[in-house]
Structure 1
């Protein structure tokens, strides 16, 4: 196999076509042997640019592939890693240089993404948004480099797709477009929410979904739990308030019923003692002297008596007089 850009592209296309026809990938064994025998020293950038390395990594992790295919793909990857780490090993054994070399930038130190300029749109606001998004994506990949060693990302393409999705959703650069961009930048840069930027740069959350994603879905797990607890507490508070309101209504209805029974709502103003007692008990309670009645008690001969008339027989019969003596509490009746 000739390790050129055109040859690597053709090899990647053949591997993809073979695995599409046969999911087990048995037909890719001969192709992988050619890739394994090829001399790729000082040509690793060509493998990354033509996506041949990405196709081989997928074959090594594919569940439906034949065991021999996965082993061959793993051997190819191990060979490439040894070539990639060979300069680092020789540099460790070499004598230290008199002047320390400057520290590489995060974009050049990371081999998991391509750093290239984003495509210009001719509109300053959109170009600025694309540059800011690319910077955020590169910073996220650099912060999670240990987790993304075998993951290749094109930050420029990611930034372009995210900005294009924003532009298509809001049909232009308006107030909502800018507000959505500020919200995205805040959540992507949030140090308290590293899982969100990791999900974006690792591909779990597609960049096209950032334009339509709900703000609540961007929050961290801790914030989601806090918000869920707040909603549950609010529901419980509403339930308690409704219970208290029902209890208060029942209490008011009960008090109103008792007030009606105790004649507190009568036109005449009565004291609380008058409402609780009948007229006779209230007069005894206040010490008011009772007046003489028209009947004499047959027992103690006192005139402090009272009576009530009750119709106990038919309507053409006279009423029955029920009498009571206030001095000796003697009761009698007559017709």
Structure 2
């Protein structure tokens, strides 16, 4: 995993323009082809997000290798898990037909070599176990599945292969969370179910990275419905919200003027920071003052002074 982390750092530098060595990046991606990749490594290192961004790179060599990696990893995510492979050792054999013997060594080896996939419901697209809109499904649930598939289909063509399965896994997780599949379902549960769909729909349409993580099985449906608004938002939106929080914090500070005195002086074109008052403690003139009405309206305002060198405060 350490090698994958180092390669991810190298590719990230290439994405932001700190590294322009296309051949070096191509070699790094060739090394990724040789890595025995698993779902857990993809999830922990976030390498899938980086490669997904590189598939649209202007350098054809880099973009081509990125697409090859995505196809390979997508096939990895589509493999059945160990729990999907069952050997019925108790089944009775027909008369005259000997029961096939299973080699313990071969069985153990095959189990060890089968990678574990993300915690998503397993559906067999070709068999009867998977049906996108099964008969008898509530109309609201069927509509949600169709809408989620439409949103997931906004991703690039090479990632759309499992949009139906992912849409079903998300909807099933929502239905379980709000008891839509229970006879005891209430109007309150339906309302919460609908509100959750609106939240996911809004964010998935805007967040291409989140769509990619779902289609690459980095995030499961159960994980998605428990994500906070901050986690669902795009990187740009997260930065905006962080800035809004910081602005609100700054406005609430009582010492904002003192902490930003240099910025205020620079904006106002004040080059000499000397104030009208001299500090009685350190004799500095680097002071500032404010006035507040602390007495009756017909009395003069009280002047509050602070020394920016030693921190002494007084009023006069």
With the length of structure 1 as denominator, give the TM-score of the two structures: 0.36
Q: Which has the larger radius of gyration?
A: 1
With the length of structure 2 as denominator, give the TM-score of the two structures: 0.37
Higher relative contact order (CA closer than 8 Å, sequence separation 6+): 2
